[in-house]
Amino acid sequence: MKDQLARWPVRLVIGLVAPLLLIFLWQWQASAHSVTFAPPVAVASALAELLRNGDLLRDTLATLQRAFTGLAIGAPLGVAAGIAMGIWKPVDRLLGPLLHALRQVPMIGWLPLIGLWFGVGEGTELIVVSMSAFFPSMLNSHAGVAQVERRYLEVGGIYRFTTLQRIRFILLPAAMPLVLTGITQALAFAWISTIGTELLTGAGSGLGVAMQTAQVQQRLDIMLVVIGVTAALGFLINQLFRRLRQSLLRWQPAQS
Amino acid sequence: MNPHPHAREDLAQAAASRGALTVSGLDKSFDIGGKPRKILDGINLNVRPGEFVSIVGASGCGKSTLLRLIAGLDTDYSGELRLDGDRIATTSLDRGIVFQDHRLFPWMTLEQNVELALLNTDTPKSRRAQIVADHIALVNLKGFEKAYPHQLSGGMAQRAAIARALVTEPKLLLLDEPLGALDALTRVHVQNELQRIWMAQRSTMVMVTHDVEEALYLGDRVIVMSPNPGRIRRIVEVDLPHPRDRRAPLLHRLKDEILAELTSGADAAESADNLVHLPSREAR
């Protein structure tokens, strides 16, 4: 029975129950309040329209590019900072308090200030997205290195590991599960803050920009298409990363 | 297979310059609740090259501490610790250790774990794979080279740890209750393996255990320690050639003697002292 539930076609069907129910309720309600609610049929035709004129593709690509560029800048910096803080106490003492204070400010909260410095545009958005990828990567990597078991470090002592060997063969691999957790979170944060900054700055193209434009034009159908695409893409990216994580951590005993 | 005592002596002579351990006047204290507490008191011990020495004693007699000091994992001691005349001041590739928990790195395969021990040796890179394969074969783990530690049973993981410790060909191999976490059957099996490996390698071995039978089965000599503070109470010569028969009457007689020594050892006053004071000390 348990095995049956685990098989992917079964999982797919079960996973689709809630969305389909939602669409049904939505169609039913939308017919009753047609002014504030677009029915699924209208949304489907909006989707077809956006696909035809290329708007959806352009916006999606712009958002993906922004999110992944931010991730590519913020996550490695965060991992490096977290590991350095975990290995060298002075670095932790020097940077820890500042970084822990700064991370209390919601990322969107930085937008006005950074916008003032760098102007509303691509640069500002990228800085905010990078920052939101930085903090979860840093925190988890730090925790990952800090919790490496002493008994493994002793083995490194027995075999006369140098500092670099200790980092490469013990600290990094032992911290890897949490480092990857950090990057997974960074991915989610980068995705959310990309949409958020696009919504607020409304410059260029992107899914957030499209949402904002649709709001101004009162195109409920388009808004719902964009929300759907955002949710689906976010889910898909997260799944892909989970796969990657599993193959990188195949040395871990299977978790059930 | 080498049942002849003479041949064994020849081998021992060939290794004469390797693995002679000298412990003299060794004291060790730990700071417990701000007060120094003596763990080891005046330990004197000479281990001959190629000898297998077992150390038994109740928990808390400092036998594991002694091993950590010899390994160089703890360097805060007074007295003398020398291997082949050189004072022990830190860890060294000359001294290998097997812990009670196997301590294989879970993120590496068995093969990678063993090879990692060679990282800082001057073994040529081209020969490493062969040496690693030989040692994996030595502990009977052929076919498991690519297994991750979590895929190995407890006994297999412990044998892998022994292979890792031996691959650097240390002059002295320290075994800190290496079989303590294994079930009784696996334990007997790995004991036999250990005897076979020691006979093949003839490096000096010092094993700490709380199992008197195991100590006698493997050891040329058995050091009996008493606790609070840790002292050597008695040294028992086990005059039986290897490989040994577990049923040998001598082993059983010596076992009874040592057990009597260990249990009667703490006389009434001492054990009463323990009962009264141990909990309050822990509470502090």
**Edge-to-edge strands, sheet with B86-87:** B35-47, B21-32, B78-83, B86-87
Nearest C-alpha neighbor of A153 from the set A136, A172, A181, A133: A172
The number of residues making up chain B comes to 284
> Mean pLDDT in chain B?
85
Rounded average pLDDT over A124-132: 90
Q: Which whole number is the average pLDDT over A72-87? A: 93
Does any CB of chain A come closer than 8 Å to the CB of residue B107?
yes
If one compares A35 and B32, the residue with the highest pLDDT of the two is B32
- The neighbouring-strand residues paired with B206 are B53, B174
Cβ under 8 Å to A: B residues 146-165: 148, 150
- pLDDT score recorded for residue A115: 83
Name residues whose C-beta falls within 8 Å of residue B124's C-beta, 6 or more positions apart in sequence.
none
Statement: residue A240 has pLDDT above 80: yes
Per-residue pLDDT tens over the stretch B107-163: 999 999 999 999 999 989 999 999 999 999 888 899 999 999 999 998 899 999 999
Contact of A223 with A211, CB cutoff 8 Å: yes
Structure tokens belonging to residue A184: 């997974």
Query: Among A22-26, B34-38, B164-168, B184-188, where is mean pLDDT lowest?
Result: A22-26
pLDDT 10s digits, B186-236:
888 889 988 988 988 888 999 999 899 999 999 999 999 988 888 898 999
CB atoms within 10 A of CB A142: 26
Q: Tell me the C-alpha distance between A46 and A49, whole Å.
A: 5
**pLDDT given for residue A51 in this prediction:** 84
Q: Is residue B136 part of a domain?
A: no
Distance CA A132, CA B173 (A): 51
Calculate the alpha carbon distances from A179 to A75, A94, B110, B233 in Å: 10, 21, 24, 51
Chain A closest-CA separation from residue B218 CA (Å):
24
List residues bridging with B36 in a β-sheet.
B31
The shortest CB-CB distance from A173 to any of B73, B99, B107 is to B107
What pLDDT does B85 receive? 86
Q: Which helix (H) or strand (E) holds B207?
A: strand B204-209
Q: How buried is B110 (Cβ within 10 angstroms: 0-12 exposed, 13-18 middle, 19+ buried)? A: buried
Contacts of A151 in chain B (CB under 8 A): 99, 101, 103
Q: How many structural domains compose chain B?
A: 1
Distance CA A224, CA A218 (A): 11
Instruction: Quickly tell me which residue has 């539930």 as its tokens.
Output: A5
Q: Please check the confidence at residue A29 and state whether its pLDDT lies above 80.
A: no
Q: A77 pLDDT band (50/70/90 cuts)?
A: very high
Lowest mean pLDDT among A98-112, B23-37, B211-225: A98-112
Check CB contact under 8 Å for B150 and A173.
no
Residues in Cβ contact with A255 at an 8 Å cutoff, skipping those fewer than 6 apart = none
Coil, strand or helix at B173: strand
Q: Give me A157's structure tokens.
A: 């002592």
Let me know if residue B206 belongs to a domain: yes
Whole domain around residue B261: which residue ranges?
5-94+170-283
Contacts of A255 in chain B (CB under 8 A): none
Distances (CA, A) of B17 to B11, B14, B89, B233: 12, 8, 20, 29
Strand partners of residue B173: B96, B205
Determine how many CB atoms are found less than 10 A away from the CB of residue A159. 20
How far apart, in whole angstroms, are the C-alpha atoms of residue B145 and residue B147? 6
- What average pLDDT does the structure give for chain A? 85
Instruction: Give CA–CA dist B64/B70, Å, rounded.
Output: 10
Maximum CA pair distance of chain B?
63
* Run of H or E including A175: helix A172-201
**How much is the pLDDT for A121?**
77
Q: Which residue of B has its CA nearest to A148?
A: B105
Among A159, A173, A250, the residue with its CB nearest the CB of B120 is A159
Provide mean pLDDT across the span B164-191.
88
pLDDT band with cut points at 50, 70 and 90 for residue B283 = very low
The answer to pTM > 0.80 is: no
C-beta atoms of B105 and A170 within 8 A: yes
Those residues of chain A whose CB sits closer than 8 Å to some CB in chain B are 151-152, 154-155, 157-162, 165, 169-170, 173-174, 176, 250-253
pLDDT at B271 over 60: no
CATH of the domain at B265: 3.40.50.300
- Locate the domains of chain A by residue range: 59-248
Burial B38-75 (b: 16+ CB within 10 A, else e): ebbbebebebbbbbbbbbbbbebbbbbbbbbbbbbbee
Residue B59 lies in a domain: yes
B140 lies in some domain? no
| Contact call for residues A128 and A120 (beta carbons, < 8 A) | no
* More confident position, A250 or A73: A73
A149 to chain B: closest CA residue: B103
**Of the candidates A145, A140, A136, which has an alpha carbon nearest to the alpha carbon of residue A179?**
A140
Beta carbons of B106 and A169 less than 8 Å apart: no
pLDDT at site A37: 67
Residue ranges of the alpha helices (H) in chain B? 5-14, 63-71, 110-116, 125-138, 154-166, 184-201, 212-218, 249-265, 268-283
Best A153, A154, A159 member to test B by mutation, with max B CBs in 10 Å, is A159
pLDDT digits (tens, 9 = 90+) for B58-102: 887 888 899 999 999 998 889 999 999 889 989 999 899 999 899
Instruction: Quickly state the pLDDT bin for B268 (edges 50, 70, 90).
Output: very low
List all residues 6 or more positions away from B165 whose beta carbon is below 8 Å from its beta carbon.
Answer: B96, B97, B98, B117, B173
Band (pLDDT 50/70/90 cuts) for residue A2 is low
**According to the model, what pLDDT value does residue B72 have?**
92
Say how many CA atoms lie within 13 Å of B79 toward its Cβ: 19
The span from the CA of A189 to the CA of A186, in Å, is: 5
ipTM of the complex: 0.81
CATH class of A59-248: mainly alpha
Q: Is residue B106 situated within a structural domain?
A: no
Q: Do the chains contact at B119 and A165, CB–CB below 8 Å?
A: yes
Q: CB–CB of A159 and B117 under 8 A?
A: yes
Residue with tokens 């959310």: A192
Q: What is the 3-state secondary structure (H, E, C) of A180-232?
A: HHHHHHHHHHHHHHHHHHHHHHCCCCCHHHHHHHHHHCCCHHHHHHHHHHHHH
Which of B67, B99, B107 is best to mutate for the A interface (most A CBs within 10 A)?
B107
Q: Is it the case that residue B8 has pLDDT exceeding 60?
A: no
| Chain length of chain A | 256
- Going by pLDDT thresholds of 50, 70 and 90, the confidence category of residue A31 is low
Sheet holding B52-57, edge to edge: B95-98, B172-176, B204-209, B52-57, B221-226, B231-237
Confidence of residue A6 (pLDDT cuts 50, 70, 90): low
Mean pLDDT of A82-89: 90
**pLDDT score, position B129:** 93
Angstrom distance (rounded) from CA A143 to CA A180: 12
Over residues A36-53, the mean pLDDT reads: 79
